[in-house]
Amino acid sequence: MAEAAGQRHYGGHSTEQRRLARRERLIEAATRVYGEVGYRNATVKAVCEAAGLTERYFYESFANSEALLIAAFDVVSHRLIDCLEAIRKDHAGSTDERGHAVLRAYYQALKDDPVGAQLFVVEIARVGPAVDEVGAALLREFGELLSRSLAPEANAKLKSTELVRAGAVGAMIQIAKAWIRSGYARSVDAVAADALKICRVLAE
């Protein structure tokens, strides 16, 4: 029996596989474009050109630019969160050493990927309610990770309250913004050490 039209294979890839590949190309292109020129200055056409796709493929996966921004932010942020979580789990030092290692990795990642940093730290702010909700969820996740990093035991229950975690994460983001504006003037170790002074409140 012939395959359904939606499941036909071309070059060894199904229709769905090719659609997902195009979606990934758009997300990667959006991360670059939003980081380079700013979300508010970017157009669907510019993102599609960067992805090497026509605009009809954009609307195949995304309802609008805001939906693409959310998808790009989700990919960039969870790529970083997963990396930080692995460092937290594998670190065998003291709580301060573990916290410093996680914070150092966070700020190093921002420095190593300034385009992604622009999206993660700056472009996500004040776009709209749907984007704000996604950003807030990520910040809660980041706060919980930091709290676990500074717990006496790596797998201990969270000691800090949600408001304290929100305050600590807000401080981490403000430090990142100031550091980015300075052109990464201070060393990653120095920035992580300063951030750790604030994050110690999560262990109280």
Q: In one letter, which amino acid is 37?
A: V
**Which residues are CB-contacts of 152 (< 8 A; sequence separation ≥ 6)?**
95, 203
Domains of the chain in sequence order: 1-62 (1.10.10.60), 65-203 (1.10.357.10)
**What per-residue confidence (pLDDT) applies to 4?**
43
CB 70 within 8 A of CB 134: yes
- The stretches of 38-128 forming alpha helices (DSSP H) are 44-51, 55-61, 65-90, 95-112, 114-117
Helix H or strand E encompassing 128: none
CB 176 within 8 A of CB 117: yes
Concatenating the DSSP letter of every residue in 135-194 gives HHHHHHHHHHHHHHHTSSSTTPPP-S-HHHHHHHHHHHHHHHHHHHHTTS-S-HHHHHHH
Paired sense of beta strands 13-14 and 9-10, if any = antiparallel
**What per-residue confidence (pLDDT) applies to 2?**
40
Per-residue pLDDT of the chain (204 residues; tens, 9 = 90+): 344 444 555 555 678 888 899 999 999 999 888 888 888 888 999 999 999 999 999 998 999 998 998 898 888 888 889 999 999 999 988 989 999 999 999 999 989 988 777 776 776 776 778 888 888 888 899 999 999 888 766 555 677 788 989 999 999 989 998 998 899 999 999 999 999 999 998 887
